[in-house]
Amino acid sequence: MKIRNYLRAILLGCCALGFVSGCDCPKNTQKNPPKLTKEMFYKDGKFDEKAARQAYFDMMERLGMPISKNMRDNMWATDFGLGQFPEVGMGGIFWAMEDKHGVFGHEILLLPNQMLIEHYHVAANGLPAKHECWQARFGTSYCFGEEGQDASAYPDVKVPESQKQFITVHKVSKADSKEGNVVWLNRPTARHYQIAGPEGAIVTEYGAFHCQDGVKFTNPNVKF
């Protein structure tokens, strides 16, 4: 029995380190994220959404998040038309989006250090400006807005050079999956953006139902 337990411990250790394949042991979620380059996500100058989606799936596996069929079939990815993925972009899926009762649920996926660019919400099409809050379920996301700590509190969190001229808010609140805290937008029309930590982030957003016409970006070059 002791020998059997000893061999099992060795097998589990090798599986966790990736030396053994085909077992049902928990996957190693501590691997360092690979270096992602712009060239990996563009073909003939066009954004390769398939490659971007796969990068998010790979991140989800590293972070230990199960990938459901719904997620594989319906998750989308965007570079906001700026050609700067993976520095600027996001993945997402709408879990719930109906206007009869104003229900909205969204998953935000951000690659390591990736920025969801600055935007804000306004009343449109008979709907009020969207209010929302965020819970990082895997990884860490730094939520920038009108309230929070000074950005200097997180010197390693960098706004991409391509976006510095377009940001208008500089306070930050940390959404940390280890803490399980929820970060709220201080008011519905406040400008805000997010930047993922070095491991990436999977963020559940809870918000009021809204329409695309009610989303505005401070960068005039955005196409979304």
Q: Which of 9-23, 26-40, 53-67, 111-125 has the lowest mean pLDDT?
A: 9-23
| CA pair distance 149, 26, nearest whole angstrom | 37
- 77 and 8 belong to one structural domain: no
Rounded to two decimals, the pTM is 0.85
Burial status of residue 112 (CB atoms within 10 A of its CB: 0-12, 13-18, 19 or more) = buried
In a domain, 115, yes or no: yes
**Which of the two residues, 189 and 21, has the higher pLDDT score?**
189
- 56 and 18 belong to one structural domain: no
- pLDDT given for residue 14 in this prediction: 41
- 71 and 161 belong to one structural domain: yes
Nearest to 205 by CA among 101, 104, 78, 106: 106
**64-75 average pLDDT score:** 96
In a domain, 208, yes or no: yes
- 22 and 38 belong to one structural domain: no
* pLDDT tens-digit map of 18-58: 433 344 444 444 467 889 999 999 999 999 999 999 999 99
Give residue 3's domain range: 1-29
CB of 113 closer than 8 Å to CB of 166: no
* pLDDT tens-digit map of 149-167: 999 999 999 999 999 999 9
